[in-house]
Structures are given as C-alpha cells and as structure tokens.
A and B are shown apart, each in its own frame.
Chain A
C-alpha cells in the first residue's frame, strides 16, 4: 500500500509579511502561483509513483474567500487523478468548512468527501487489501466539541485502518476551537495511521511517526519556515513507514548572520557574501537576523532602526533573485547594547521595563484597533509581542542616542 497524506493546501491564499509591493512581475507570478505549483507537484508525484490513494486533510482553500481559480484548478487536478483511477479522500477543515451538501461540489468520481458526522469509507487496493478510512468534515468555522470521541474503533475486517482529522491537539499550542483532541484519544482507536491537518508545522505526535501533521504545502509567511510538501506512507508487510517529499516552490527561512562590522556598507557586503555562500536550491524568502558580536556604532543603530539597511538589502536581493534563488523580506537585529543610565535612573528603568513590557499593557492598544481582526491576532501573538517589546527597547535606545542622553559607565 502506498498513499499520500497532505493538508492545508490553502490554495490561492496570499503571502503575509511582504510589506511593500514593487516586486518584479516574474517573482509576483511565482508567489501567486506558489500554492498551485506545490499541489500540482504533489499530483505529478502521485501519478508518477502510482499511489493507491491520496488523503487531503482539510483547509484546501478558504471557503469564504474561494477564488474561481482555486476551484477550477482543484477540479482539474482531481480529474488528473481520476483519469488514472487514483481515489482522493477529502475532509474539510475550519477554513473550507462545508455547509451545503457534498453532492453539488462538482468533483470527479474518484473524489470522496466526508460528511459532518464521522463516517467510514472503504477502498479495495489493487493488491486486494481492504482499507477503511475514517473522517469527518467541518460544517462550520469553529467546532469546540471533541468530535474524536465519535470516531469508530478500528474495523478488524479491514487490512488497514486510517483516520483523518483536522483539528488541534492539546499538546500543540493552539486554541480549542478546532475539534480538539488528545493524543490518547487518537491512539485509543487503534488505527494504523492518523492523517492530521490544521497545524502548518509538519510534526509527529507519537514516537512511531504514524500520527502526523503533514504541515501545509506552501509556507506563507516567515513563521512557516522550511521545506513544505506531503508525506508518503508506504507499507512493508504489516508495518508502515513515512517519508517527507518537498513540493513547495518557495521556502521561508530565518537566517542568523554573525556580524561584527560597524559600518553600514561593509555590513551589507558581509550579508550578501554570507548568503551567496549558502547556494539555495529553491527560491528562498529570508528574514535576516543580525547577530552582532560586539558594540555597534550609533550611526549603524540608527540606520538599522530607520529600516534603511533593511530596505537596501531587500532591494538588492530583489534584483538578482532568480539567479541566486533568494529574496530578503526583512532584516532584524539583536543587540546586547544596553541603555545606560545614571545609577539613580538605571534601576527605575529596569523595574519599569518589567512593569511595562507585558501583554496586558497591549490591551489598550488592542482596543484601539478592535475592528481589525488581523491586528487583534497580531497583538495577541506572543511572538509578535516579543518583537514589539524588543522594538520598544530599541526605540528608547535610538532616541537616547539622538538626544545624547546616554551616559557610559566611565
């Protein structure tokens, strides 16, 4: 038995964190096509490998937002598999939740969609083995009930039992609005394999690697780094093994670059030297994090804070992106440089820091932008909060430099 497990295709959803447009049109096209290209590569592999079936564990697209392009494309790709008689099993997730009947979807004959209540679909392989697949589709955006409880236990009459579930495990940090389950819930069903969806970071929940999030098929912002694709599950006798295959045309990556230079232009040169040595195979969108060993000049800090350095690096990387296969989307720096105060002031600032840089303090700002969900999410995300706190320190630092209020120790 050989099958593909993929999820979170998020067809036609845009990249986040690309602040200004002005990208060359070929890069723009590559971005717009990326989710499609990735899935097409998956279907190419499925055909080439002649897999027995394909599992798609939800969030294929955004139902509210579904573009015609994604619908037609999906239909086409499913049809390609249909031509080769490769069945596809789909569960819909919180983004592509299915409210209406599944008959009006217009999918080809090979495509089976699970309904809102957990059900089992059977399939007989060319080898004669019988496979039972258990799953359900979201029929609304949030499902707080642990639907896992309604899944049947493994059907003994089938050679293989596979479960499909789109939702959040309690061990993975996420809210509980997405058909929550625990690892033991899953294990209690005694399935041979769990094809999970919803979490974009590819991971195994168990140590055998048979309860997996395949991750999304194309990273869409800097926090979805690394190669993206699908999991190929193959049987060897009575055991299963899983391997990852990459299909995404664009990879996001955070790169820590150690730097010790003080001047802006040598810094930029060092950055590019470092990046060119990397020899990226796939188009890579990079966030550079500068790791300064030693003090930075005031002038450089200002340039960094202004975003001047980031802009220059970004623009320069854009010129040659096709040859070098990378594009610098953002540049951050960490510095141990502290704001120095007079003794009377230092402890006040340190104490005030603890008091001020809390997520609670962001509440008021959050309230200011209550209408905008995306801002709410941003201000609630702990990673982004951390960034804000760092930035606050840098603001004060740069301002003290400007006003000359910084006193050194001696």
Chain B
C-alpha cells in the first residue's frame, strides 16, 4: 500500500485539511504541536478504525467546533487507486466507505477488510511504526531473544503463546531437568535405581537356592556315608560291648583255670551230704527220742508219787462216792428250800399289802375279825339306819315334795343321744377304715356305755324312790327310837371288832380283808416250816463232808449250789486224777519199753554215723562240713569254668583265656569312643540337613521377590507416565515454537541478511557482517569480530538501526504498509542521521516511509519535504 493523500474532515486540531504524499520517502516537517502526532493517529484510525476512550491512550482526537470526525485516505495497492472514507458511526470503529478512486465506484467494505488484514492497529504499531528508538533496547538480546522478539512481531498473540510456552516449559522442568535433583521424574528415576537394587538383591534367591540345594545334596551324601560308617561301628561296638560283658567271665575263667579236676575227692557228693545229714538227723532223733522217753518216764514216776490229793481220795474213795451219790437228791431239797423261801417272801408281801389296805382304828390298830353272824348284821343294821334317817328327813320334806310333784320329770333324752352317737362313731370307724378307726371304736363303745349307764340309772333311781315310798307307807313307827336301837347295835359291833374310827360302810370290806390277812399269815407259817426242814437236811449233808475240808474248802460265803458245785467238781477231778494215774502207770511201762528200743536204735545210728565219718577219714561233723564245702566249691569252680568256657565259645570268644584284660579293656573304650563320635556326627549332619531344608523352604515360600518385581513394574509405569507428560510438554513447547517460526516464516534469515546489508551501508563497509550465534557479534572488514559491548555507541546505533529496519522490511514484503517514523533520529548526530537517511532512502525503494520530524536537516532534499 502506498498512501497518496490524506483528507482530514476533523481530527484533533486539524479540520478540513488535505495532505499530499508524493515521495516514497516522505518527510513531514512540523514544529512541536504542529499536529504530527495527530496526523499519525489519523492515518492509523482511518486504516484500522477509531478507538474507544479506553483504547485511545493518546486521546480520541475529537475535532473542535463539532467538525465531522474522520476523513479519507487515498492509496494505491497493486496498481489500483483506492479511496477509503471513515466517519463516526454507531460503533466505535466508525463507518467506512470504500471506493475505487479511479472509477469512483463504491466497493464492498469486505474488500477493504480483506486487503488490510491481517494487520490491525496493534500489529501495525509493532511492525511499521517507530517512535523513539532509544528505548528500544535490543542490543542486550541474545539471538534467541531476538528471534523471540521477531516472532513476537510476526504473531499478534505471540506474547500469549510465549506465556503459554513458558508455562509449559516450567511444567516440563518441574518434571525433569537434565541434571536436576528436585524435579519429580529425576526423583522417580533415582528411586527406580534403589528399587532395582532391591530386586536384584532379592533375585539372588535363585543362585542361593541352587547353592543351598547343592549343600543339601552334599550334606545328605555325607549323612549317608556317616550312617554307613556308623552301622559298621555299631556292629563293632556291640561286639566290644559283648566282650566287655564277657570280661568278668573271662577273668573268672582265668582264675578258675587254676583249679584242677584232680582235686575232686569222692564221698563228698551232694548225696553224701544228704546221707550224712540223714544219719545225723537220725542219730539226733534217736538220741532225742531216748532222752525224751527217759524224761517222760521220770516225770510220770515223779508225778505218781507226789499226788497227795489223789492219795486222800483213794483212801476215802468209798465214803466220798457214797456221799456223791446223794448229791442229786440234795439238789432237789435245795430246790424245795428255795421254793419255800420264796413263798415265804411272797406271802409276806401279800400280808403287808393286805394289812396296809386295812384302815386302822382310832388307836391305830388293826381291827379284829368279827363273827359271821355279826358281819351279816352290819348290812342289815346299816340299811335300817339309813331308812330311818330318810324317814325323818322325808317327813320334813313332804311339803316340799308335794309342791314339786306337779313337775313332770322330763323325758331324759341324753342316753339316746349318747348311744346313737356311739353307734354312729362305730359305723364311721368301719366306713372310713381310717388308721384312727380304733379311736372311733373306742369312742363308740364309751358313748354307748355312757348312754346305757344313764339309762340304767333311771330305773334305779326310780326303784329307789319306789322303795322309799314303800318304806314310808309300811313303817310308820317312830323312826327316832328305832334309830337309837340300831345305833346301839352298831356300836357293839364296833367295839367288838375294834372298828372305832372306821366308817361302818367300810366294815364289811375290813372284814373281808382281815379274813384274808389271817389266811395269809397261816400260809406264811407253813412255808416257814417247810423251809426249815429243807435247811436242816442240807446242812446235815454238808456236814458230812467235813472230813475232806482240806480239799473242799467251803469257805463261809458259799451258797448251797456253790457248795454242791464244788463237791461235784472236786470229785470229778479226783476221778480224773485217778484214771490219769492209772494211765500213767501204763505209759511208764510202755515208755520203758520204747526207751530200750530207742536206745538200741540210737546206738545203731551212732555206729553208722561214725562209720560214715571214719570212712572218709574224718573225725567229726565239723570236719565233714568243711571238707564237703571245700569239695563243693571245687566242683562248683570246675563246673563254672566249664560253663564259662562253653558260654564264651557260644558268644564267639574262643581261646579267650589268658588274654590281656587291659588290652581288651582299652579296645572296648576305643570302640565306644568311635561309636559315640559317629553318633554325634550323625546328629550334627542331620541337624544340618534339616537347617538347609528349612532355609530352602523359606526361600521358596518367600513372596518378596514377586512383590518387588511388581513394585518395580509399578515404578516403571509411574516413570513412563511422567515421561509421557514430559514428552508431551516438550512437544507442545516445540509446537508453539514451530508455530511461531512458521508464522515468522523463516523471517529471521531474511532479516539477518537485510540487517547485514544495511549495517554495511550504514558503516560504509567498515563492518561487513553481523554474526548471529549465541550472541550478536559484528565482523569488521578485516575479519575481526567484536561483541556488542565492545562497540562504540555510534556503531551500536548503526547496528540497531540495521536490525530494526531489516525486521520491518522483512515483514513488509508480505504486508505492504507504509513505515511511519516519528522523529526516530532525533538523538542522532548529523553524520549518523545522514547515514540513516541514506538507509531510509534505500528502504523506501521497497516500502513507503513517512518520516515525521520537528528538526529540519539541511541535507534533505525538497522533493521529500512537506512542511506543515
């Protein structure tokens, strides 16, 4: 685009102003406040749209005096002349009208939009507008930064993208840095190493298993070997043990071998000993026998002579036996005696009883028995007395009786009730059949009895009263007199019978008792008599035994029975003694005979006994025993030796006699030691085998390895997820980079070559090249390169200009908009400014340059200049 003309309707100070731009490098000169900034802003506003109050940092340039806001720009693009009109509209950017300036036909607004895009005000400011240079400090930039700055220019939203890229790079760096220690992935990789180490340690399991297996096999082999050895040793040891057991036998055998069979003498066999024994015993027996017999004979003889008692008995035998015959009869007498004694006692008791039952009279004496006649009178007299007494009282009571005669004697029902109750109770006892039935029976009986009794009494009382009435009718004598007569008769009886103080009613009773008493007394006397007779008999009998009171000590306290007993016993013992004595005599004879025999046998036995001894050259038993024991021992030894020998041969020990016992003993010990050692070895090896087996078992069961492997796999997965993220972030960063690069379309090289060219121009070939490595360097014509900080300020400025212009020009090949410079070289010195203008000239060959300045340079030609 080449701007030809500006038509300002109203913008800031400028109203209704037209400005023609004729030269590719158009220098617009105006003093300060002349409106340079206004025109610059006008151009931007018309091209890109009006700004809102907020957007317009330098103000909206609203014209004064209500002049119409906006204006026109005439420009040429690709050979066609256009006219763009922008005025204030409803929206902030304003309304545009787009015309083909040649034909003056209106063109659709889109055409303009298409034409101007993608450049907007912002982009334009970035790329095509130059304010004060001095604050554009690009010298310190590294190539990357320069590139970035270029990229920034190339993409309008580039800053945002660079921010995003920075964010992404930061995220990436948080995950991983080349030699970092803190980022996550670095840490995870480190733990991976540790985990791998753990796994490989655990892995050693397998070779360890193989090693252990090997050890196990070895140990088992060793064990087997040892067991073989052991059984051999065991056999040997058992043999030694046997030998050890046999040792005493061997020793004994050795000792016994000294004893000779020749020492055995005949006649000392067991049978001989038994014989001797027998003979001794026989002899002893016979000796004893004869001695015993002799003793017995002597004893018996002795006893016979010294029995005084027996002698006495024998002297008085006849008498004694006669008396003894009487004994049974005496026993009978004794019985009688006892009987009568008892009887006496009983009768006495009766007498006492009866006597006690008789009341005593006033003198405390027993009454006497009356005659029968008197006795019978008593009753009669007493009755009469009573009668008379009643009569007397009755007369006095007659009055009373008559008044009371009307009273009916009520029927007395009580007996009936009682009887019926009794019957009832009787019946109940049977019906209930209870355990207390007998109570009911008894109760029944009682009740019935009571009832009956009551009933009977009625008639008696009735008859009594009848009798009284009868008597009252018949005897009408003077009762008082009769009574006195009776009384006198009674008194007489009383006197006779010594009955004073005893009520007459009792007299009959007393009489009967007295009679009994008399009877009893008689009985007593009888008994006594009999008793005495018996006693006499007994005493006489006893007396007859007096002659034997040395042997029959009756003492003073003995009863008759006891005495009889004594007699009986003594007599039987006498009899016994007698018979014994007789027997003894018989025995003595027999004994004497036996004694003779015994003596003969004894002598015989003695002879045999002695013969036995002498035939063996011995004198006594002791010698025989000694000799016999000797012989026995010898024989025993010989037998033992024989047995031992055969035993040892059985056990496998031939010719062991006379072997060195010490040697044998030491051999046995040696074998035992070996055996024990072997035993221990086996125990050790067995232990070892089981230990190894346990270890192997542990290894096999150990799940740690699997777990660790899974952990390792998990760790690797985790790392891969970070790697994935890191890779993605790296790629995103690159992506942004590439996008920006593409956007800059490889502008950098182009820009760089332009920069070179411009730098050459500006420095008038003092420098020939700019190097863009790590840092920007310049190469002098002689080939020497200088860092930026080594350059003079002037050169720096030249370099700077080269760079920035190269950038703009680089862009303008695509986006052909004019470059607007607002007094950029104001701080340059004259020389530099001249060079700069020269550069601008060069640039303007490619792109329109509009240069606004407040300072006029003489060197500028009039063609370029426009004065405001």
Contact = CB atoms under 8 A, between A and B. Distances in A.
A181 B117 CA distance: 61
A374 interface: yes
A392 B738 contact: no
A353 B742 CA distance: 11
Secondary structure of the B side of the interface?
helix
Given A16-B717, A392-B729, A349 B735 contact: yes
A16 B716 CA distance: 8
Contacts of A369: 723
A403 interface: yes
B206 A21 contact: no
Nearest to A395: B732
A170 interface: no
Given A68-B699, A396-B735, A396-B736, A391 B723 contact: no
Contacts of B719: 372, 374-375
Contacts of B168: 395-396, 399
Contacts of B155: 344-345, 348
Nearest to A106: B213
Interface in B137-173: 155-157, 160-161, 163-164, 167-168, 171
Nearest to B205: A68
Nearest to A31: B710
A388 B724 CA distance: 6
Contact of A344 (B156, B205, B720, B736): B156
A71 B731 contact: no
B712 interface: yes
A309 to B, nearest CB: 15
Contact of A387 (B167, B189, B709, B724): B724
B731 A388 contact: yes
A17 B735 contact: no
A348 B742 contact: yes
B699 to A, nearest CB: 6
A117 interface: no
A32 interface: yes
Contacts of A203: none
Contacts of A345: 155-157, 161, 739, 743
Contacts of B323: none
B711 A403 contact: no
Contacts of B735: 349, 352-353, 356-357, 392, 396
A378 B728 CA distance: 13
A294 interface: no
B700 interface: yes
B730 interface: yes
Contact of B717 (A18, A395, A400): A18
Given A65-B203, A342-B156, A344-B155, A32 B703 contact: yes
Interface in A278-292: none
A405 interface: yes
A20 interface: yes
B679 to A, nearest CB: 34
Contacts of B699: 68
B118 interface: yes
A13 interface: yes
B714 interface: yes
A311 to B, nearest CB: 12
A365 B728 CA distance: 10
A31 B707 CA distance: 10
A262 B494 CA distance: 159
B705 interface: yes
A368 B185 CA distance: 12
Contacts of B564: none
A336 interface: no
A365 B730 contact: yes
A409 interface: no
A353 B205 CA distance: 51
B726 interface: yes
Interface residues of B, number: 59
B713 A18 contact: yes
Contacts of A372: 189, 192, 719
B725 interface: yes
A26 B705 CA distance: 17
Given A344-B156, A372-B189, A19 B118 contact: no
B325 interface: no
Nearest to A342: B157
A347 B659 CA distance: 122
B706 interface: yes
B171 to A, nearest CB: 8
Contacts of A379: 723, 727
Contact of A67 (B206, B714, B716, B721): B206
B157 A405 contact: yes
Contact of B164 (A68, A388, A405): A405
Contacts of B209: 68, 71
B588 interface: no
Contact of B714 (A20, A344, A353): A20
Contact of B206 (A71, A341, A392): A71
Interface string A2-34: 000000000011111111110000001001100
B743 A362 contact: no
B734 interface: yes
A361 B727 CA distance: 10
B714 A69 contact: no
A183 interface: no
B650 to A, nearest CB: 53
Given A344-B156, A372-B189, A21 B742 contact: no
B643 interface: no
B624 to A, nearest CB: 88
Given A345-B155, A361-B731, A400-B164, A67 B205 contact: yes
A312 interface: no
B160 A403 contact: yes
B709 A12 contact: yes
B463 interface: no
Contacts of B329: none
Interface string A329-354: 00000000000011111001101110
B720 A374 contact: yes
A66 interface: yes
B706 A12 contact: yes
A92 to B, nearest CB: 16
Nearest to A341: B157
B178 interface: yes
Most buried by A among B171, B712, B716: B716
A344 B164 contact: no
A395 B206 contact: no
B702 interface: yes
Contact of A32 (B157, B706, B712, B731): B706
A14 B723 contact: no
B628 to A, nearest CB: 83
A405 B740 CA distance: 15
A399 B167 contact: yes
Contacts of B284: none
B728 A395 contact: yes
B439 interface: no
A370 interface: no
Given A68-B700, A345-B739, A345-B743, A15 B724 contact: no
Interface of A: 12-21, 28, 31-32, 65-69, 71-72, 341-345, 348-349, 351-353, 355-357, 361-362, 365, 368-369, 372, 374-375, 378-379, 384, 387-389, 391-396, 399-400, 402-403, 405
18 contacts: A20-B714, A66-B206, A67-B203, A67-B706, A68-B205, A344-B118, A345-B161, A351-B742, A352-B735, A356-B735, A361-B731, A378-B723, A388-B731, A389-B731, A392-B729, A392-B735, A403-B160, A405-B157
Given A32-B707, A69-B706, 10 more contacts: A15-B710, A15-B713, A16-B717, A20-B718, A21-B711, A68-B702, A71-B209, A361-B734, A389-B728, A399-B164
Interface of B: 117-118, 155-157, 160-161, 163-164, 167-168, 171, 176, 178, 189, 192, 203, 205-206, 209, 699-700, 702-703, 705-707, 709-714, 716-721, 723-732, 734-743
